[in-house]
Amino acid sequence: MSSGANRFDPAQTASPGEPIIISDSVKRTPAHDAALLILKGAACVVFRVPTARSTRRVKFSKGCGGTLTIGPLTEEPGVAEQEHIQTTVDAIIEEDRNILSFEVSRQNADSLYGESYLDDFGIPASVETVRICAIPDCTINANAYPVLRSTGQLERVTVTEMKHNAAKQTLDISFVFSVPSELKDKPLDERHLSCLLPPCQTKELPELPSLLPPSGVETAREEATAEQDNQVVTPWEVQAEDGGINYDKLLKQFGCSPVTPNIIKKIEEATGKRAHHMLRRGLFFSHRDLDLLLHHVLKCKKSGGESPAPCPFYLYTGRGPSSESLHIGHLVPFVFTKYLQDVFDVPLVIQMTDDEKFLFKDNLHLGQTQRLAFENAKDIIACGFDVNKTLIFANTDYIKYLYPTMLEIQKRVTFNQTRGIFGFNGSDNIGKIAFPACQAAPSFAEAFPFIFGNSPAVKTIKCLIPQAIDQDPYFRMTRDVAVRMGLPKPALIHSRFIPALQGYKTKMSGSVECSSIYVSDSPKEIADKINKFAFSGGRATTEEQRQFGADLTVDVAYQYLTFFLEDDQELERITEAYSTGKMLTGEVKQRLITLLQDLVRQHQERRAQVTDDMVREFMNPDRPCFARFRAK
């Protein structure tokens, strides 16, 4: 994978002017380079080496194959690791990921990607422009040669042998690959090759965090995040810049993918129903691997239940019980999860982290968080979940079933990594440091033997986790260990935050009373809070408002309507009228007040029906209704 200053010339592996052909007689083709990229990405994950300067050598053998040498690797890998590298490679191909290719000046490459794009042997100083090939969330490398357009164009890459050299601390990974017959022995064209973007503007280039493998070893990943420090989003702190949370930046910073119209279309295709308004309006705006999950769901549908798992996936979400009742922001993931449960007809597990809130909040005793978990479960049940498809569990109670999985996770995450991911430091209590494994464990079906059974097929069951974007760090860690545990990475879908009444600078907080509307508030409290506190994007005077219209992006009442007003046409009318000055803040607030009064009243009625016994039923893991989800 050496680099060169050569400009794009698809024919450069063959003699100039000759077409590129993948055949057994050509030593290096775009398929060889694609296989190498995939293998390198997989190796970085499994062996936890950085991408930077870890390629020691590349050799091509006759026919479709070669050897990649990586280092430093102090220990000889075992059989399990050989298997892991193969499953990781298989997954990257199955996922049919895009392979990017672009040219940048040496200087820009250095400033954007540090050393991450370099091989151990580097690039001669005389080279001024480098071509970079990358697979998002996987690997990045300077590469002089053209490469295939996507990983799925390879049929298979098989690791044939791994040889460790203890003295040099290197590992030779030998491989062979195959391509579908339509790609073999015929000239390739643009449909097959990754198109080289024109020499790029730095602004448009993918940022390093979105390219690196999810192993967290590349310090640059953390540095890149730390640089943009006006905006802080962690599970414990959300601080926006002026003008609110910049969600585009967050996508880049976290390396997540946007929920595109295409994804929404696929959801509609897979469910046969119109997508939820929170999807259509971009409130659930970000995901990881949702496309793959949908691909899998559609495949299961077509094959008609031949797979050993009787449901294509399960849902997992949760709640940290820190307040007596939920506020309407807390409802967002649950309302959305209920929709997912209904349209996909899949089991759902809901984690109540009574342990987390005990460990992270100074003012709460364990007895309190346990009681709050039970009380909050009532609000959750009132969202309408189907008892026959839902398990709610409190960690301090259910821990026995999580613990084996937690141990597998804990063994694979170092303190330094939790420092990087969560910002822990030496004076945090050790319970905090161990906790992320507890939130990670339910991402794996093996933590629910009563639902999915104990057969080996449980290891293949996939998971989707709806959540607010601040929970992503937990699941970045989870997805990283999943690969090394030989288990499927959970897919994620993230929501925006619902702003605090006071405005967009922060999210609604359960611990600041007047920043939120609680599902226990009275109609009068709702009206008072909205009238008094809801930050307005309207103008200072009626005249100005009539003339200029409101700034909807910062107007809290309007933003709440986008979350909770289901009627698209009415919302459209309000959008138009308010932004052009035909409608005034007071009128918009009034509409929100009646909407939330209704919503909260209905919620309270449903909650009043929820008895302690019903909570215990939802919390009973061992129920006959789960039998239908057991894996064969």
Does residue 600 touch ligand TRP according to CB under 6 A?
Answer: no
| Sole residue written with tokens 């820009």 | 108
Smallest gap from Cβ 195 to ligand TRP, in A, equals 38
> Closer CB to ligand TRP, residue 74 or residue 363?
363
Do 452 and 461 form a contact (C-beta atoms < 8 A)?
yes
Smallest gap from Cβ 327 to ligand TRP, in A, equals 12
> Closer CB to ligand TRP, residue 10 or residue 235?
235
Strands annotated E in 201-240: 232-234, 237-239
Does residue 467 touch ligand TRP according to CB under 6 A?
Answer: yes
User: Nearest 5°: phi and psi at 204?
Assistant: -90, -5
Smallest gap from Cβ 551 to ligand TRP, in A, equals 30
Among 29, 54, 153, 353, binds ligand TRP (CB under 6 A): 353
Do 474 and 325 form a contact (C-beta atoms < 8 A)?
no
Does residue 54 touch ligand TRP according to CB under 6 A?
Answer: no
* Nearest of 456, 457, 499 to residue 310 by alpha carbon: 457
d(CA 423, CA 468): 19
Q: How many residues bind ligand TRP (CB under 6 A)?
A: 13
Virtual CA dihedral for 550, 555, 557, 561, nearest 10 degrees?
Answer: 90
Amino acid at 375: E
Sign of CA dihedral 620, 621, 622, 626: positive
Q: Footprint of ligand TRP on residues 504-543 (CB under 6 A)?
A: none
Does residue 417 touch ligand TRP according to CB under 6 A?
Answer: no
Virtual CA dihedral for 228, 233, 236, 241, nearest 10 degrees?
Answer: 80
> Closer CB to ligand TRP, residue 30 or residue 235?
235
Taking residues 428 to 447 in sequence order and writing x for each that binds ligand TRP by CB under 6 A, - otherwise, the string is -----------x--------
> Closer CB to ligand TRP, residue 51 or residue 471?
471
> Closer CB to ligand TRP, residue 151 or residue 351?
351
> Closer CB to ligand TRP, residue 95 or residue 354?
354
**Distance separating the N- and C-terminal Cα atoms of the chain:** 44
> Closer CB to ligand TRP, residue 108 or residue 395?
395
Does residue 472 touch ligand TRP according to CB under 6 A?
Answer: no
Taking residues 67 to 86 in sequence order and writing x for each that binds ligand TRP by CB under 6 A, - otherwise, the string is --------------------
Does residue 478 touch ligand TRP according to CB under 6 A?
Answer: no
Smallest gap from Cβ 436 to ligand TRP, in A, equals 10
Smallest gap from Cβ 446 to ligand TRP, in A, equals 17
Take residue 313 and report the two structure tokens written for it: 């996936």
Smallest gap from Cβ 322 to ligand TRP, in A, equals 7
* DSSP assignment string, 23-39: -TT-S--HHHHHHHHHH
Do 261 and 552 form a contact (C-beta atoms < 8 A)?
no
Stretch that binds ligand TRP, among 192-200, 314-322, 479-487, 604-612 (CB under 6 A): 314-322
407-411, Cβ contacts within 8 angstroms, sequence gap of 24 or more: 407/437, 408/481, 408/485, 409/437, 409/440, 409/441, 409/478, 409/481, 409/485, 410/434, 410/437
Taking residues 316 to 335 in sequence order and writing x for each that binds ligand TRP by CB under 6 A, - otherwise, the string is xxxxx---------------
Smallest gap from Cβ 357 to ligand TRP, in A, equals 7
**What 3-state class would DSSP assign to 326?**
coil
Q: Footprint of ligand TRP on residues 219-278 (CB under 6 A)?
A: 235
Smallest gap from Cβ 471 to ligand TRP, in A, equals 5
d(CA 503, CA 554): 7
Among 471, 495, 515, 585, binds ligand TRP (CB under 6 A): 471
d(CA 496, CA 494): 7
> Closer CB to ligand TRP, residue 325 or residue 467?
467
Stretch that binds ligand TRP, among 295-303, 449-457, 464-472, 519-527 (CB under 6 A): 464-472
* DSSP assignment string, 420-484: HHH---TTS-HHHHHHHHHHHGGGSGGG-HHHH-SSGGGGG-EEEEEEEGGGHHHHHHHHHHHHH
Does residue 369 touch ligand TRP according to CB under 6 A?
Answer: no
Does residue 351 touch ligand TRP according to CB under 6 A?
Answer: yes
Q: Which residues bind ligand TRP (CB under 6 A)?
A: 235, 316-320, 351, 353, 356, 439, 465, 467, 471
